Amino acid sequence: MASVDLVIPVYNEEHVLAGSIARVLAYLDGHPEHQWRIVVADNASRDRTLEVAREQEAAHPGRVAVLHLPVKGRGIALRNAWLTSDADVVAYMDVDLSTDLGHLQALIDPIAAGEVDVAYGSRLGRGAVTNRSFKREFISRAYVFILNWALGLKVTDAQCGFKALSREAARALIPLVRDNKWFLDSELLWVAQRNGFRLREVPVRWTEDPDTRVKIVQTAIEDLQGIWRLRRHPVPKASGRARRGR
In this prediction, residue 204 carries a pLDDT of 96
CB-side neighbour CA atoms (13 Å) of 145:
6
Alpha-carbon span 41 to 3, nearest angstrom: 18
In this prediction, residue 118 carries a pLDDT of 98
Q: How many CB atoms lie within 10 A of CB 40?
A: 28
b/e per residue 170-202 (b: at least 16 CB within 10 A): bbbbbebbebbbbbbbbbbbbbbbbbebbbbbb
Average model confidence (pLDDT) for the chain? 91
In this prediction, residue 211 carries a pLDDT of 63
Active site residue 185: yes
For 119-148, the pLDDT digits (tens) are: 999 999 899 998 877 777 788 888 889 999
For 42-95, the pLDDT digits (tens) are: 999 999 999 999 999 999 999 999 999 999 988 999 999 999 999 999 999 999
In this prediction, residue 214 carries a pLDDT of 59
In this prediction, residue 176 carries a pLDDT of 94
Strand residues in 13-158 grouped as ranges (E): 35-43, 64-69, 89-93, 118-122, 129-131
Mutual angle of helices 49-59 and 17-29, in 10-degree steps: 30
Which residue among the candidates 157, 185, 209, 223 is catalytic per the annotation? 185
Mean pLDDT on 233-237? 74
* Topology (CATH level 3) of domain 3-232: Spore Coat Polysaccharide Biosynthesis Protein SpsA; Chain A (3.90.550)
Would the CA dihedral through 217, 158, 171, 112 be positive or negative?
positive
For 189-214, the pLDDT digits (tens) are: 999 999 999 999 999 999 987 765 55
In this prediction, residue 55 carries a pLDDT of 98
In this prediction, residue 39 carries a pLDDT of 98
Mutual angle of helices 184-194 and 74-83, in 10-degree steps: 50
Alpha-carbon span 120 to 152, nearest angstrom: 17
The size of the chain, in residues, is: 246
**8 A C-beta contact, residue 59 and residue 18:** no
Q: Is 63 or 216 the better-scoring residue by pLDDT?
A: 63
In this prediction, residue 246 carries a pLDDT of 39
Strand residues in the chain grouped as ranges (E): 3-10, 35-43, 64-69, 89-93, 118-122, 129-131, 162-166, 199-203, 205-207
Please state, for a pLDDT cut of 70, what percent of the chain lies above it: 93
